[in-house]
């Protein structure tokens, strides 16, 4: 049999807890749909983040990097925690310092050239909206795909930890090519469906040089290559306000740089009600919108040290990331949809099947594993229901 290699890097805190549930779901897909996916999913785990610092002294061991590079896709949990409070860049072993777990994640994204991070906020189902921190009428109908540039900007600019004069600095850098390739992906996704989606590009062009470059290159790329697509520019401060005042106004594609995307995607999770719900896909290479591509898949949340070890983390973000893995790296839209439907069913359907399940972050009492098991249970019939055309 053909083995489809998935590198698994569960990381720290709740990372291993939520990743285990995503793997359960993928194993079910592998079991029932191996003909369709063209092989059997083969999972191998590697140390990463704080765990790798403890066992091997560095957050991104060479063996982990190589395993990720030779896999068809990577499934990641989360990294970081108060146990590893080291400066990001100071790599001075003589002072007992080394890179933080988070630096391992940045290095991995860069090594794998994952320049686009897709963070969909498309899961605000009716039953979730009833308990959204936002008013139902405000949150209703909001749906967007955020595309965050992932290997540029202030995350990768030159940095100085506090020096002898008590000064520290970070620099934001972007090149034309870096902006162009992610703008092109936004154009592709905007034109992928029957109806063209609107692109909302978010920057701080009233202050930052990199944002003025961003705005110019995004405008030129979309006008030249995707002429039918509507493009609106927003300043990030006003966009952050709009996201909770009237999130429907941002429906479509949100395109933004690395740090703004980090911040705004956590904010967007307030619409469906929890950070634990949102998935992501980090993609690289040449993306044509059709061929399967290498990618790394992770929930948008972190290691959640405040709840880690209690078995109460919401695994939905991780499970929906597994659906994105099937969609983008294995080209399996039908199975990805089935997972998304199974998640909806488990969240929504409370009368017929006793679902309507909620983990603690959403006000319920369901555990991490109960949630994962329920999704697997709901998924079986949906996968069996896929017909011959879906093969």
Q: For the segment 261-280, give every residue that binds ligand IPM (CB under 6 A).
A: 262
* Segments in 140-279 forming alpha helices (H): 176-190, 209-225, 236-245, 258-268
Give yes or no for a contact between 279 and 268, defined as CB atoms under 8 angstroms apart: no
Sequence-ordered strand ranges (E) for 322-362: none
- Residue with nearest beta carbon to ligand IPM: 102
Angstrom distance (rounded) from CA 135 to CA 386: 37
- Min. distance of Cβ 164 from ligand IPM in angstroms? 27
Instruction: Please tell me what DSSP assigns to residue 134.
Output: S
Task: Give the residue with the Cβ less far from ligand NAD, 112 or 179.
Answer: 112
Count of residues making up the chain: 391
Which of 86, 100, 95 is closest to 12 using CA atoms? 100
Does residue 266 carry a catalytic annotation?
yes
Stretch that binds ligand IPM, among 43-51, 99-107, 199-207, 288-296 (CB under 6 A): 99-107
How many whole angstroms separate alpha carbon 218 and alpha carbon 353?
47
Catalytic residue (one of 155, 174, 297, 355): 155
Q: Does residue 80 belong to the site contacting ligand IPM (CB under 6 A)? A: yes
Q: How many residues bind ligand NAD (CB under 6 A)?
A: 22
Place of tokens 């999130």: 247
245 an active-site residue?
no
> Tokens in use for 229?
């697509």
Chosen residue from 102, 149, 257, 335 binding ligand IPM by CB under 6 A: 102
Question: 368-384 vs 333-348: helix axis angle to the nearest 10?
Answer: 130
Size of the site for ligand IPM (CB under 6 A): 7
For the record, the structure tokens of 391 come out as: 């093969």
Q: Is 155 annotated in the active site?
A: yes
Nearer Cβ to ligand NAD, position 22 or 199? 22
Residue in 313, 342, 343, 347 binding ligand NAD, rule: CB under 6 A: 313
Q: Which class for 168: exposed (0-12), middle (13-18), buried (19 or more C-beta within 10 A)?
A: exposed
Residue 12 is among the residues annotated as catalytic for this protein: no
Smallest distance from ligand IPM to CB 102, Å: 4
The residue behind tokens 């078995």 is 311
Chosen residue from 7, 26, 75, 105 binding ligand NAD by CB under 6 A: 105
Of the two residues 71 and 121, which places its CB atom closer to Mn ion in the complex? 121
Q: Which residue from 388, 386, 389 is spatially nearest to 28, judged by alpha carbons?
A: 386
**Residue 182 contact, options ligand IPM, ligand NAD, Mn ion, none, Cβ 5-8 Å cut-off depending on partner type:** none
Q: How many CB atoms lie within 10 A of CB 96?
A: 7
Our answer to whether residue 163 is catalytic in this structure is no
Applying CB under 5 A, does 262 fall inside the site for Mn ion?
yes
> Could you say which residues in the range 67-96 bind ligand NAD, by CB under 6 A?
78-81
Active site residues: 155, 204, 237, 262, 266
Q: What residues make contact with ligand IPM under the rule CB under 6 A?
A: 80, 102, 105-106, 262, 300, 302
Q: What residues make contact with ligand NAD under the rule CB under 6 A?
A: 14, 18, 78-81, 102, 105, 275-276, 298, 301-307, 313-314, 317, 361
């Amino acid at each position: 049999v053909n083995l489809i290699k998935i590198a698994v890097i569960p990381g720290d805190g709740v990372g291993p807890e939520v990743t285990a549930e995503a793997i359960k779901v993928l194993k079910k897909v592998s079991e029932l749909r191996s003909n369709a996916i063209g092989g059997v999913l083969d999972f191998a785990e590697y140390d990463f983040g704080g765990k790798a610092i403890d066992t091997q002294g560095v957050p991104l061991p060479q063996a982990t990097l190589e395993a990720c590079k030779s896999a068809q896709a990577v499934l990641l949990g989360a990294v970081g925690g108060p146990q590893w409070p080291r400066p990001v860049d100071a790599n001075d072993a003589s002072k007992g310092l080394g890179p933080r777990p988070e630096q391992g994640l940045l290095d991995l994204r860069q090594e794998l050239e994952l320049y686009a991070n897709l963070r969909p906020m498309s899961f605000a189902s009716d039953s979730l909206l009833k308990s959204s921190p936002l008013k139902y009428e405000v949150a209703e109908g909001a749906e967007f795909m955020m595309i965050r540039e992932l290997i540029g900007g202030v995350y990768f600019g030159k940095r100085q930890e506090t020096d002898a004069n008590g000064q520290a600095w970070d620099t934001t850098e972007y090149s034309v090519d870096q902006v162009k390739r992610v703008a092109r992906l936004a154009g592709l996704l905007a034109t992928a469906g029957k109806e063209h989606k609107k692109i909302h590009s978010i920057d701080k062009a009233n202050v930052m040089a990199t944002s003025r470059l961003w705005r110019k290159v995004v405008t030129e790329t979309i006008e030249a290559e995707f002429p039918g697509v509507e493009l609106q520019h927003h300043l990030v401060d006003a966009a952050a306000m709009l996201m909770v005042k009237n999130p429907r106004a941002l429906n479509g594609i949100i395109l933004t740089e690395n740090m703004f995307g980090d911040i705004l995607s956590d904010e967007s999770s307030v619409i469906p009600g929890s950070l634990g719900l949102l998935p992501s896909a980090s993609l690289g290479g040449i993306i044509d919108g059709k061929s399967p591509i290498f990618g790394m898949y992770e929930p948008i949340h972190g290691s959640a040290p405040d709840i880690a070890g209690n078995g109460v983390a919401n695994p939905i973000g991780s499970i929906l990331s597994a659906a994105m893995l099937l969609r983008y790296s294995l080209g399996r839209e039908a199975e990805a949809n089935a997972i998304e439907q199974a998640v909806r069913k488990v969240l929504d359907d409370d009368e017929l099947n006793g679902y309507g399940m909620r983990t603690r972050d959403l006000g319920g009492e369901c555990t991490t594993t109960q949630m994962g098991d329920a999704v697997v249970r709901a998924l079986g019939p949906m996968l069996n229901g896929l017909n011959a055309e879906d093969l």
